[in-house]
Amino acid sequence: MAALGARGWLRGSAAAVPSRLWRAAPALWGRRARGQDAAAGSSDTRPAFTDEAVQNLLYKMTGLNLQKVFRPVKKELKPPKYKLMTEAQLEEATRKAIEEAKEKLRMPPVLNEREPIDDILAEDKILEGTETTKYVFTDLTYSIPHRERFIVVREPSGVLRKASWEERDRMIQIFFPKEGRRVIPPVIFKDEHLATVFQQDRHEDILNMCIAQFEPDSPDYIRVHHRTYDDIEKHAKYDLLRSTRHFGGMVWYLVNRKKTDGLLIDMLHRDLLDDTTSLITLYHMLHPECQSAKEAKEGKLQGVDLIKVFVKSESQKEGYIQLALQAYQEAVATSTAS
């Protein structure tokens, strides 16, 4: 076993043996288990983010603005390509573009924060005072998933402990680098620099960078996402995330915390009645014990009535929503009249 400086690596000796043992009994650990809420599933009354009904509603609300999804980006300059197409070919190309856009709009997972790791495996007092640095031992077997990789740290005091989540992420990035991810997270994700980002309306970019840099259940990922959603909700900049893959996560966050008023007003201003009904349906799915949910279920309300019932009982900014609703109805009336 050769150990060098602050990092070491094993050549298939001690730490590989436990992973082989664990892999021999895969049924015990459920190696292909789907996330933390796999066990909850249908037995839990509260719907999860991954439920099909929820995903359909969120996808409908995200919208599909092809111009925004495939907008031009800064890259190497090349001469433009022109294609002459018939109507049928154009429809075919649009259909393909819509499929690609659906793939691009696939929502990143929303998970709970992971539990910190702080297990001590051994205490070797005899090693105390022999070294001045920590040694990190990483299992580099290529075929195991990163979540099953053993990474341990030997402290100068002789204690052998499991590496914490941040140390794990750093080591895995050093040995198995992923594109767009840095070993040490950039300074931009700290709270004081996020303010600069929000001032420039770069919410989508910072969320894309966050997905590239952090794991979905890391506290930094969750913190950055929550700060972004809070800022959007504070300044009502919902349109920045519409037609992106982050819109579903934002709606899920807002509905769970019952902060849907701003979003409702924004949708009414843009005349998106279907989106308002989807939002209210989702709200009732997540909070079935509230007043308007019961009324809606009894009366099987649709459209504007649903909104009215919702506004009466659940919203804080009742006046604004009534106003927006009135304006929408007038707009509909004038457009149908003319």
Partner 1 sequence: MALARSVALLRWAAGGLRGPVRARRPLWAQVAPGALARPRSTEAAPDVPAEPPAFDAAARYKDKPWEYLETEEYQATYGDKPVWFGYRRNHKGSVPPQKTRKTCLRKGKSVGNPCPICRDRNLFLDFRNVKLLDQFICPHSGVVYHPTITTGVCMKQHKLLTKAIEKARDHGLLWLQVPYVEAPRDDYGTRHPAVSKTPPAPELLRGASWYPWYDWHQPPAAAVARLRRIYKAYLKEDGPPA
The minimum distance between CB 104 and partner 1, in angstroms, equals: 8
Give whichever of 34 and 235 is closer to partner 1, judged by the CB atom: 34
Angle at alpha carbon of residue 101, lines to 98 and 107, rounded to 5°: 135
The minimum distance between CB 199 and partner 1, in angstroms, equals: 9
- By residue count, the chain amounts to 338
Which residues lie closer than 8 Å to 206 by C-beta, 6 or more apart? 188, 194, 197, 224, 228
Instruction: Identify whether the C-beta of residue 218 lies closer than 8 Å to the C-beta of residue 114.
Output: yes
The minimum distance between CB 13 and partner 1, in angstroms, equals: 17
The minimum distance between CB 215 and partner 1, in angstroms, equals: 7
Give whichever of 211 and 232 is closer to partner 1, judged by the CB atom: 211
The minimum distance between CB 1 and partner 1, in angstroms, equals: 19
Instruction: Identify whether the C-beta of residue 148 lies closer than 8 Å to the C-beta of residue 22.
Output: yes
Give whichever of 186 and 303 is closer to partner 1, judged by the CB atom: 186
Instruction: Identify whether the C-beta of residue 58 lies closer than 8 Å to the C-beta of residue 247.
Output: yes
Rounded CA gap, 325 and 114, in Å? Answer: 42
User: Which parts of this chain interact with partner 1 (CB under 8 A)?
Assistant: 18-19, 22, 29-36, 38, 73-77, 103-104, 106-109, 111, 114-115, 117, 119-126, 145-151, 162, 165, 168, 178-181, 186-188, 193-194, 196-197, 200, 202, 205-206, 208-209, 211-212, 215-217, 245
Which DSSP letter does residue 334 get?
H
Give whichever of 153 and 293 is closer to partner 1, judged by the CB atom: 153
The minimum distance between CB 35 and partner 1, in angstroms, equals: 5
Give whichever of 140 and 273 is closer to partner 1, judged by the CB atom: 140
Give whichever of 227 and 284 is closer to partner 1, judged by the CB atom: 227
Give whichever of 15 and 57 is closer to partner 1, judged by the CB atom: 15
The minimum distance between CB 179 and partner 1, in angstroms, equals: 6
Any long-range contacts for 136-139 (C-beta under 8 Å, 24+ apart)? 136/6, 136/7, 136/8, 136/163, 136/167, 136/171, 137/3, 137/8, 137/9, 137/10, 137/15, 138/7, 138/8, 138/9, 138/10, 138/171, 138/172, 138/175, 139/10, 139/15, 139/16, 139/19
Instruction: Identify whether the C-beta of residue 21 lies closer than 8 Å to the C-beta of residue 149.
Output: no
